[in-house]
Structure 1
Amino acid sequence: MQFDLREFKFAEGGDTMSLEGYGAVFGNVDSYGDVIEPGAFAKTLAHHKTAGTLPQMLLEHGFSASPLPVGKWTEMSEDGHGLKVKGEILPTSEGKDTYIALKAKAITGLSIGYRPVEFEMRAKPEDPRRRLKSVDLVEVSIVGNPANGKARVASVKSADAIITIRDLEDTLREAGFSKSEALAVCGRFQAKTDRRDSGADAATVADFDRLLSKIRA
């Protein structure tokens, strides 16, 4: 199975941790020297539609701490740009960590896992290695370093999910903050949390986003 990377984004608001973007972009040479041509996903998407399924949503192609899906794709289709995908991240511990990293733009890539079905090899040295005419799409992963730089998350939809101060500290450290910087952010976030009527050691992702934006400004 081979991989190819793209871009995604979050859309604000709503009740779920959702994202959308392009799992693949047509006409762009990826790091493997391949080009995916329009229509390459037509047969595999038709097969999934008949079966009532969609390819899995994995984190780093299943090479993360858990090989289980980190979410589920709810829509996939081809348009003039590429393979457009929409999905929801599961409210598991790994899903929440992934969501926070996406919101912080610590990871921004999408990558497809596929088997080439029909393709043309290059005729000249300057040509792409292969032109993929048809592929069997197995999964679309959220990744840190996509093979195709144009495969990115375009939007992320906030869930009013609850995250703890310890969650924030761990996520900030993973995103590159020093321990002292992470503790400073968490201290400010805790102060905000303490002003809530609930008084719980938790707050929403949206609150964290607003605080982090102010710190980075």
Structure 2
Amino acid sequence: MILRKDSGLQIAMAAPLLDIKALRENGEIEGYGSTFGGEPDSYGDVIAPGAYTESLADHKAAGTMPKMFWQHDSREPIGKWVEAKEDDKGLFLRGQLNMGVQRAREAYELLKAGDIDGLSIGYRIREYKVDAETQVWTLQKLDLKEVSVVSIGANSNATVSSVKALKAATELTDKLKAGDRLTEREFETWLKGLGFSNSQAERAARVHLKGQGEPADADQALAFLQALRG
């Protein structure tokens, strides 16, 4: 999953899923945008059954559907999804490539040849929980924005760390503002979310927190951050 900004909103994009079930000559396409439960994906996420229920209901009430993009690029719509529903497996979608659009025709030919075969969802997280031991994220409620046809190669280096770190940093900043203390692990996560490299954050947490012998309070953490950044 990667993070992009769309009209000021931060939208996460999931790892491509190799589960396109049907492709017809007229450009009709069927497949799964994501699957539920099971083992965490390569980014450490599990999507809970029912995660799309509210979002799909919102789309239905508004008379809308998630958008169909090429490679998560809102400047390149390539058709439309005409059906989106949850079943026992996951998020099932049925759509129509717009064969009057060059990029859609290219996508069709690539899909037909098997050169690409992935779907990937773009969403905002409404509710989630994190296992403190495994760091596995269970995404409980998602606001589904779009489902893209993607090539695995173009997304193989994408990472969920940016969206996770940003959300965690915001929560930990609120914790500091409330006067609470951060553990060593929380302090490290906070620094990473604020843009420090892994090595910088790990070194800072080790030197500052272990040296102090106790978790950091708000004044200590903010002063240390200011010193680090000069």
- What secondary structure does 1:102 align onto? helix
Counterpart for residue 27 of structure 2: 17
Distance, in Å, in 1 between the alignment partners of 2:84 and 2:43 is 24
1:124 and 2:136 matched: no
The correspondence for 2:147, drawn from 124, 128, 140, is 140
**Higher percent of residues as helix:** 2
Which residue of the partner structure matches residue 46 of structure 1? 57
Write the distance in 1 (CA, Å) between the matches of 2:90 and 2:125. Answer: 16
CA displacement, residues 71-119 of structure 1 (integer Å, 9 cap, x when unaligned):
1000000000000000000121111111000000100000001111100
**1:77 aligned to 85, 105, 111, which one?**
85
Letter in 2 for 1:131: T
Answer 1 or 2: higher relative contact order, Cα 8 Å, separation at least 6.
1
CA contact (8 A) 2:23 2:112 kept: no
Residue type of the partner of 2:27? M
Provide, for residues 115-168 of structure 1, a one-character-per-residue CA deviation record: whole Å limited to 9, x for no partner. Answer: 11100011313x52x101101111000011167xxxxxxxxxxxxxxxxxxxxx
- For 2:65 and 2:114, how far apart are their aligned partners in 1? 26
Which runs of no fewer than 5 residues in structure 2 stay unpaired?
1-10, 157-230
Q: Which residue of 1 aligns with 2:45?
A: 34
Q: Is the Cα contact below 8 Å between 1:10 and 1:103 reproduced in 2?
A: no
Is the radius of gyration larger for structure 1 or structure 2?
Answer: 2
Determine the C-alpha separation between the residues in 2 that align with 1:30 and 1:62: 23
Q: Provide the rounded CA distance (Å) in 2 between the counterparts of 1:33 and 1:132.
A: 11
Question: Root-mean-square deviation (CA), in Å?
Answer: 1.6
Q: Which amino acid aligns with 1:68?
A: E
Equivalent runs, 1:57-72 vs 2, <5 Å: 57-62=68-73, 67-72=75-80
Q: Identical aligned pairs, as a percentage?
A: 41
Q: Which runs of 4+ in 1 moved over 6 A?
A: none
CA distance in 1, matches of 2:12, 2:43: 10
TM-score, normalised relative to structure 1: 0.61
TM-score normalized by structure 2? 0.58
| Structure-1 residue corresponding to 2:212 | none
